Structure 1
């Protein structure tokens, strides 16, 4: 009986040990399975995070490119990309870090850095052209600060414009747009300067400045230049603009006034005939009237004036600019087209 009991106890112990072992193994398998599930979940989360980061980067690069394209088209037309431009050291280092953390984002990071470098390079070119334009205005004997001065005001509006899409704007692009707008104002000012001759034939008969009045013989200010010529000779617009006056104007007789924008107005007086009407757009060299001797005049001639912000200036330096300055003005005119701001 004792032997039988001992054998039974041993068998029970063995069965118990087997059952405990199976339970331990099952628990271990469950723990391992849980760990693998957690690893899979973490991996999926990392992949989702990587994808999210890449998508955000793609969206940011696309937004910046859209802004750059819009700015370039607005101010320069379509420009060819410079594919040979070297990547900056910072850009290369950032791209390597991005490649190590998110391999899929390396190319996008490099493109983003290239865009920033492009914006900086374009801003430098724009600022150089602004200086060149200002110097051309000085060659006409005018002050570019006065020519480009604008009345400004309005409510403060943060730079969350439609162009930024998501309410954010890169510092480089913001600086580029400011530089482009400054260039546009300067070029419009240069374009507004009337530099063509108001008549094809005829020598200057009376300069700008103090003179003896032809009727009273007393000292008087002559606010323009007189050109002699034959009766009916063609009178030409000295720059692009819009006719703001065409008719009789006191001692000036039959007169035409053209608004060239940027506060610049030209006046053509003592005409025998007028070929334009108020509101007409004219271009440089267009025939607008005929020479005569109407108004307070002693003989057939053209009285020609240039006024900037209401003040008469000597037209002679504007009519004697050298070829290089005229070429810069021509480029400014082609770039701005009909965008002349009427002052």
Structure 2
């Protein structure tokens, strides 16, 4: 730019050329200084107004409950209210898309979940956790549990995955299972088991785990692929856990083997939930939000509230680790969706 400005003058006007070059350099330097100063000032005073935390589901669910718990705590620490805003629709994609396209200033955040992210595959859309979001941090995982109604026909003697697989193979096409809906992690997990073992069993989707559980307890469907929210029914003996999606054995179900332990290597089935900001949000703001999230989750009273809301302990991951984790998970379930030929409703 400087060279072009100077070269536009004839040789007889060298003095003018030098003066223009000097002023161009001063203006560029001044703009650079002002830009840096504005950035530092904006980040130094952040936040100066309320922050919106968008939940991509309706109010009253587990994601909404956790958003309100951490929003209250982080807002208290930051000195500005964190306002939870529900933007439901398209299995979570509407809310996530809204935040992804919002101003990258740290004042609009999203509760981002593995369930809503996996639905991008069903909509034949791409999702890049490095380009579409600035990942703030993971809050927790809630794991899949495969359970049966022990009172259902043929289920009484089944206590592990190998026995359930053997029974399904002995009755091809005669059984069905249920989950909280098409594309839910419970659905995808059972489809992975079907692919691995070559099983013939039909999926009966419901709109939510509560409705699915009702029909399992009523004996209309013998098998439920859901989450740890079924633990009270397991404790009451109404459901029997067969396998779970944790990476390691869990103290919540100490006598139940993981899917990997029971013959399906690499099958870790967890619905993760975390916080994300729009792409290009200043790193200093993202890191501050991540630190605030970690500090909140480290508090025993906050941890207890999260456990009471969703039945799981917080499992914080920082932004970069969260992005890597979410990307691996997204790619894994994308392969399952393609291999099983699952289509969105």
TM normalised by structure 1 equals 0.21
Structure with more contact order per residue of length (Cα contacts < 8 Å, sep ≥ 6): 2
Q: Which has the larger radius of gyration?
A: 1
TM normalised by structure 2 equals 0.21
